Amino acid sequence: MPAEPADIVVSSAESEDFARRIGLTWLASADRERLREAMATIARAGLAVPRQSSKFDQPAFIFSVTSRT
């Protein structure tokens, strides 16, 4: 069972940069704070998503290549 993800902290500067990149420069400071909290929640959820193992970590017989014909 995977361990609980570590607490992720998103700084105000990171959330402001993100808001600027996606065109949300008009957001009020309270909205930017909510965006910062949402970014941390989303990052924690992303860490909990199971990832497929790399082909370099699994035995070769698991991976197959379809023929071109």
Residue type, 69: T
Does some domain include residue 68? no
pTM, two decimals, is: 0.63
Question: How many domains in the chain?
Answer: 1
Q: What residue numbers bound the domain in which 48 lies?
A: 12-62
Listed residue (44, 36, 49, 58) closest to 7, CA to CA: 44
Does some domain include residue 20? yes
List per-residue pLDDT tens for the chain, 69 residues long.
Answer: 455 556 888 999 999 999 999 999 998 999 999 999 999 999 998 888 877 766 666 666 666 666 776
CB 14 within 8 A of CB 33: no
> Per the structure block, which two tokens stand in for 28?
């009020």
